[in-house]
Amino acid sequence: MTESAENQATDCYSQDHPDFRRYLVNIDSISTHQLFTDCLVIGSGIAGLRAALEAAEQCKVLLVCKKRLCDSNTWKAQGGIASVLHELDSFDEHIADTLKAGCGLCDPDIVSLVIRQGPRLLEQLIAGGMEFDRKGGEIDMTREGGHSKPRVAHAHGDETGRIIAQSLIERVQAHKNISLLEDFFVIDLLTDEDQRCIGVVGSDSQRRSQIIWAANTLLATGGAGQLYRETTNPDVATGDGLAMAYRAGAILRDLEFMQFHPTTLYIAGASRALITETLRGEGAILVDSKGHAFMKQYHEAAELAPRDVVSRAILSQMLKTESTHVYLDIRHFDKAHFQKRFPLISELCETFDIDIRKDLIPVRPSAHYLVGGVKTNEAGETNLPHLFACGEAASTCLHGANRLGSNSLLEGLVFGMIAGRTATRHKVTNLADLRHPLLQYAIPDSDRSRLDTADVRNSLRALMWRNVGITRKAKHLEEALEIIGFWQRYVMDKVFDQPDGWECQNMLTLAMLMTQSAQNRLESRGVHYRWDHPDLSDAHFKRHFEIARA
Ligand code: SIN
Tens-place pLDDT, residues 430-439: 887 888 778 8
pLDDT of amino acid 7: 47
Decide whether 4-23+446-547 matches 260-368 in CATH topology.
no
Q: Say yes or no to pLDDT of 39 above 70.
A: yes
Q: What's the mean pLDDT in 438-442?
A: 90
Count CB neighbours of 278 within 10 A: 26
The reported pTM is 0.95
| Position in ligand 1 atom list of the atom nearest CA 158 | 2
Is residue 308 lining ligand 1, measured as CB closer than 6 Å?
Answer: no
CATH architecture of 4-23+446-547: Up-down Bundle (1.20)
Tens-place pLDDT, residues 147-192: 999 999 999 999 999 999 999 999 999 999 999 999 999 999 999 9
Tens-place pLDDT, residues 393-430: 999 999 999 999 999 999 999 999 999 999 998 888 78
H or E stretch at 510: helix 499-520
Distance 79 CA to ligand 1 centre (A): 5
Tens-place pLDDT, residues 88-105: 999 999 999 999 999 999
Rounded to the nearest integer, the mean pLDDT of the chain is 94
Active site residues: 307
Distance 277 CA to ligand 1 centre (A): 6
* C-alpha closest to that of 355 among 341, 338, 378: 338
- Provide CATH code, domain 260-368: 3.90.700.10
Tens-place pLDDT, residues 196-244: 999 999 999 999 999 999 999 999 999 999 999 999 999 999 999 999 9
Is residue 406 lining ligand 1, measured as CB closer than 6 Å?
Answer: yes
User: Domain spans of the chain?
Assistant: 4-23+446-547, 260-368
Is residue 346 lining ligand 1, measured as CB closer than 6 Å?
Answer: no
Distance 112 CA to ligand 1 centre (A): 21
Is residue 392 lining ligand 1, measured as CB closer than 6 Å?
Answer: no
CA distance 310 to 295: 7
Is residue 159 lining ligand 1, measured as CB closer than 6 Å?
Answer: no
Q: Say yes or no to pLDDT of 6 above 70.
A: no
Distance 77 CA to ligand 1 centre (A): 6
End-to-end CA distance of the chain: 13
| Nearest residue by C-alpha to atom 7 in ligand 1 | 405
CA 203-381-260 angle, to 5 degrees, is 75
Confidence of residue 18 (pLDDT cuts 50, 70, 90): low
**Axis-axis angle for helices 453-467, 474-491 (nearest 10):** 170
* C-alpha closest to that of 177 among 63, 61, 65, 39: 61
